[in-house]
Amino acid sequence: MKQRIETQRRKAYVIRLTTVQLIVALAGMLAAYPVAGTAGVLSVISGVLVALLPQAFFIQRLGILRSRRRPSSAVNLFRAEAGKFGLTVALFSAVFVVVPPSNPAFFFSAYVAVVLMHGLTPLFMRRHRTLD
């Protein structure tokens, strides 16, 4: 029972975090369009993807959304974080080599805004009482 409540709590947090991040991404695209047009919107989209894809990898790798997950250890956390960091570096490299953003300011602004939502999302969460 307690594990199920904790799984529901984790799912609610991930859903709220992703929702807030997508709202921020949409706001960034709406702000970029009048200033830089379609190229600015594409820069925002690439910045958002560079931020969201490693996060999704981390969530999947740790099994945060699974109800039956194996006990988490420092080694699993380290592996997931190392993979997230490696994927972030690879995505930054790919973006700047393959498809350089036409407006790096929008790219980095979108990336930073999406990453910073981790700290602001708990403000949007309702307080849950624990059932002991």
- Residue that has been written with the tokens 């984790």 in this structure: 10
Q: The pTM is what? A: 0.79
Nearest to 65 by CA among 131, 6, 2, 132: 6
Q: Is 131 within the bounds of a domain?
A: no
Question: What pLDDT is recorded for position 120?
Answer: 75
Percentage of residues of the chain with pLDDT beyond 90: 38
Q: Considering its fold, how many domains does the chain have in total?
A: 1
Q: Is 97 within the bounds of a domain?
A: yes
Q: Is 132 within the bounds of a domain?
A: no
pLDDT in tens, 48-99: 999 999 998 988 888 777 666 565 667 788 888 999 999 999 999 999 898 8
User: Do residues 117 and 17 make contact, with C-beta atoms less than 8 angstroms apart?
Assistant: yes
